[in-house]
Amino acid sequence: WEDRDRVVLSNGHICPILYAVLAERGYFPHEWLGDLRQPGAHLQGHPAMDKTPGVELSTG
């Protein structure tokens, strides 16, 4: 996608705010936020491109 905004979150441990924004923008259901950092959940302590919609690159 050309001409789009990107965010690089270098300190991945602050990802809860990113998750809130992604949920608000419709990348995944708000209900996922309640499972943050639980075993097997989509949303972990660092963004994971293979588990979290809207995350294109894992950092942290």
Share of the chain above pLDDT 70, in %: 97
- Rounded Cα gap, residues 3 and 32, in angstroms: 29
- Rounded Cα gap, residues 35 and 27, in angstroms: 16
Contacts of 2 (CB under 8 A, 6+ apart): none
34-56 pLDDT per residue, tens: 999 999 999 999 888 998 999 98
pLDDT for the residue numbered 60: 63
48 in Cβ contact with 41 (< 8 Å):
no
Give DSSP secondary structure letters for 4-37. ------SSGGGHHHHHHHHHHTTSS-GGGGGGTT
